[in-house]
């Protein structure tokens, strides 16, 4: 009996060669709509599904495969009873289902209107995939062009059939989750979060272990999201580790935010961010990558050792050579010149050098694991332009202080709470992050800055419950402070700033980061 394959795909990569090979091996190919036209245009003999069902496609193609002649042929067990029942109704088996689905996610991503999005919800495709996967003992189900060669083998093992079935169910599961997410408005309304949230994770990288050698680890993609680090090109160095991914993502996020501040010096200059354990330890903007790196490095030479660095501009040979004396784990940039790649490979073979994915996005959700569940929030993406900074002291910040305050505000937003940042002339001179007390964070930042605190500005990601941080900052020579405001003792804090001649700005927006 001639075997029959049903082919109906949106992704037509390789489909002509695959169908031609099936026909050459004696298969009969059934097809629908655009796939049928593609196959016939390529000179491949293919039978229209409507010729099998005896019923034309209707409702603008919404109904074409939802018919017993199709689903009976897919779902029939290859035993005497089911085969006899098919024969009694003059139906034949379908032994291979090659289907991938309407481009729903791609349609949403390009901003199509709601009516077009709805038309790209596939109905017949998932039904055929699920039917074939259920009956995988007798039916091969293919949703990925990479699996086409397997189907051309003389025999396909039950283990491979089961693997293909699992892959098929994952394909439809992810598709349904994308539809659910869109209709519940997670990406559409910008308000709240849905009652039910499905996280579709697919492994994209294996790592030797997690945060520590005794913890297995891997890196996963959320749905169809693309990440600047997740999809970066490794142009030199060793494979990435679990911690490398986390630190590089943190460094790139801050570098990207600063690079977008067009009214800052960073808008037309290079940004360099050094990160250690997901906290910034040195940040600078300068005329070129080499200068930005040297200033960020010198901001905290102890902490930058073994750190991860992100820069906002292409790394050339001069910038690469300036990193000679510092041990780094990862360097990520928009691009790296061939000369720099060659130098890194020869002089720093262990350094992972990445070119960030240019078409990536940061996503909208921040997902944190809990025992037995997850805490989910929208990413902290509130831009400076949405704030209404208010000067609450008698002394106004100078133009340079405003630039440094905004620069430091971006940095402190990316540091773990409690966090305090000192900056001057587009360079961090002192950082205190991850402290359980705000005054301790300030003491760490001021101590780290030393004499560089004189003329610097200070930012805090949350309000001051007391005036102690202002008094400490003023004693070190800080001239301007930015904080959210909103504490009960704000009048006392403002009075202290006025007494000490320090400018203070309230943003009205805090940025806790845990």
Query: Once rounded to an integer, what is the mean pLDDT over residues 431-447?
Result: 93
Cβ proximity of 351 and 332 under 8 Å: no
Query: Once rounded to an integer, what is the mean pLDDT over residues 3-16?
Result: 85
Query: Is the per-residue pLDDT at 400 higher than 80?
Result: yes
> Is residue 188 very low, low, confident or very high in pLDDT (cuts 50, 70, 90)?
very low
- Summarised one tens digit per residue, pLDDT across range 352-384 is 999 999 877 777 778 888 999 988 888 888 888
Query: Once rounded to an integer, what is the mean pLDDT over residues 281-299?
Result: 95
Per-residue pLDDT at 500: 97
Beta strands at 47-48 and 28-31: parallel, antiparallel or unpaired: parallel
Per-residue pLDDT at 1: 67
More confident residue, 342 or 266: 342
Per-residue pLDDT at 262: 52
Cβ proximity of 306 and 448 under 8 Å: no
- Mean pLDDT across the chain, nearest whole number? 88
pTM: 0.77
The H-or-E segment that residue 462 falls in is: none
Query: Is the per-residue pLDDT at 480 higher than 60?
Result: yes
Per-residue pLDDT at 128: 87
Residues whose CB is less than 8 angstroms from the CB of residue 263 and which lie 6 or more positions away in sequence, other chains included? none
Query: Once rounded to an integer, what is the mean pLDDT over residues 6-15?
Result: 85
> Is residue 121 very low, low, confident or very high in pLDDT (cuts 50, 70, 90)?
confident
What residue ranges define each of the domains in the chain, with the CATH number in brackets? 4-183 (3.40.50.1380), 229-355 (3.40.140.20), 386-506 (3.40.140.20)
Burial class (CB in 10 A: 0-12, 13-18, 19+), 83: middle
Per-residue pLDDT at 97: 92
How many residues appear in the chain?
A: 514
Please confirm whether the linkage preceding 272 is cis (ω < 30° from 0). Answer: no
Q: Is 288 left (phi over 0), alpha (psi -120 to 50) or beta?
A: beta
Q: Which residues are catalytic?
A: 134, 277
More confident residue, 333 or 41: 333
> Is residue 266 very low, low, confident or very high in pLDDT (cuts 50, 70, 90)?
very low
β-sheet with 4-8: strand ranges across: 47-48, 28-31, 4-8, 96-99, 140-142
């Amino acid at each position: 009996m001639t075997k029959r394959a049903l082919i109906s795909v949106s992704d037509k990569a390789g489909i002509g060669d695959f169908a031609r090979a099936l026909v050459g091996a004696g298969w009969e190919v059934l097809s629908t709509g655009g796939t049928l036209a593609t196959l016939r245009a390529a000179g491949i003999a293919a039978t229209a599904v409507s010729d099998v069902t005896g019923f034309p496609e209707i409702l603008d193609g919404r109904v074409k495969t939802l018919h017993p002649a199709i689903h009976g042929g897919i779902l029939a067990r290859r035993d005497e009873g089911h085969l006899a029942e098919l024969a009694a109704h003059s139906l034949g088996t379908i032994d291979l289902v090659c289907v991938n689905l309407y481009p729903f996610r791609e349609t949403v991503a390009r901003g199509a209107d709601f009516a077009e999005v709805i038309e790209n919800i596939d109905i017949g495709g998932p039904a055929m995939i699920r039917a074939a996967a259920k009956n995988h003992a007798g039916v091969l189900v293919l949703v990925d062009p990479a699996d086409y060669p397997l189907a051309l083998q003389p025999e396909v093992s039950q283990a491979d059939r089961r693997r293909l079935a699992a892959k098929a169910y994952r394909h439809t599961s992810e598709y349904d989750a994308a539809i659910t997410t869109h209709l519940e408005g997670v990406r559409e309304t910008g308000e709240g979060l849905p009652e039910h949230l499905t996280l579709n994770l697919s492994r994209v990288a294996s790592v030797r272990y997690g945060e520590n050698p005794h913890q297995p680890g891997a890196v996963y993609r959320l749905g169809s999201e693309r990440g600047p680090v997740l999809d970066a090109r490794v142009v030199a160095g060793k494979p990435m580790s679990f911690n490398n991914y986390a630190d590089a993502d943190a460094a790139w996020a801050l570098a990207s935010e600063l690079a977008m501040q067009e009214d800052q010096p960073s808008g037309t200059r290079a940004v360099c961010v050094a990160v250690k354990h997901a906290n910034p330890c040195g940040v600078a903007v300068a005329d070129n990558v080499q200068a930005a790196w040297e200033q960020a490095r010198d901001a905290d030479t102890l902490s930058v050792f073994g750190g991860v660095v992100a820069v906002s501009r292409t790394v050339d040979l001069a910038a690469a050579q300036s990193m000679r004396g510092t041990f780094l784990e990862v360097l990520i940039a928009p691009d790296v010149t061939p000369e720099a790649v060659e130098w890194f490979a020869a002089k720093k073979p262990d350094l992972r050098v990445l070119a960030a994915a240019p078409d990536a996005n940061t996503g909208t959700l921040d997902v944190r694991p809990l025992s037995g569940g997850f805490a989910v929030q929208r990413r902290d993406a509130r831009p400076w332009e949405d704030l209404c900074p208010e000067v609450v002291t008698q002394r106004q910040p100078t133009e340079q202080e405003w630039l440094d305050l905004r620069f430091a505000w971006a940095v402190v937003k990316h540091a773990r709470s409690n966090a305090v940042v000192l900056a001057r002339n587009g360079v961090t001179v002192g950082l205190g992050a991850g402290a359980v007390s705000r005054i301790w964070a300030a003491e760490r930042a001021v101590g780290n800055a030393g004499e560089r605190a004189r003329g610097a500005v200070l930012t805090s990601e949350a309000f001051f419950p007391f005036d102690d941080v202002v008094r400490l900052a003023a004693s070190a020579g800080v001239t301007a402070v930015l904080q959210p405001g909103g504490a009960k003792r704000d009048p006392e804090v403002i009075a202290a700033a006025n007494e000490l001649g320090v400018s203070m700005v309230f943003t009205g927006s805090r940025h806790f980061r845990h």
